[in-house]
Amino acid sequence: MHQPLVAVSTDVRQFDNYTWHAAPQQYLEAAISGAGVLPLLVPSFGDRLDFDELLSSVDGVMLTGSKSNVDPRLYGEEATEANGPYDPARDSTTMPLIRRAIERGVPLLAICRGIQELNVALGGSLATEIQEREGSMDHRAPVSDIQDERFAIRQTVTIKPGSCLAGVFGPGDIMVNSVHRQAVERLGPKLQVEAVAPDGTVEAVSVRDSRAFAVGVQWHPEYWVGTDDVSQRIFKAFGDAVRAHAVARHAARTAAE
Q: Is 164 tagged catalytic?
A: no
* Catalytic one of 112, 117, 164, 180: 112
Asked whether 204 and 215 are in contact (CB, 8 A), the reply is yes
250 is an active site residue: no
Considering 117, 194, 203, 222, which one is annotated as catalytic?
222
- The residue annotated as part of the active site, out of 117, 139, 180, 220, is 220
DSSP string of the chain, one letter each residue? -PPPEEEE--EEEEETTEEEEE--HHHHHIIIIIS--EEEEPP--GGGS-HHHHHHH-S-EEE---SSB--GGGGT----GGG--B-HHHHHHHHHHHHHHHHHT--EEEETHHHHHHHHHTT--EEE-GGGSTT----SPPS-S-HHHHT---EEEEEPTTSTTHHHH-SEEEEE-B--SEEE-SPPTTEEEEEE-TT--EEEEEETT-SS-EEEESB-TTTTTTT-HHHHHHHHHHHHHHHHHHHHHHHHHHHH-
Which amino acid belongs to residue 137? M
The span from the CA of 67 to the CA of 64, in Å, is 10
The DSSP output letter for 4 is P
Is 78 marked active-site? no
Greatest C-alpha distance within the chain? 61
Residue positions annotated with a catalytic role: 112, 220, 222
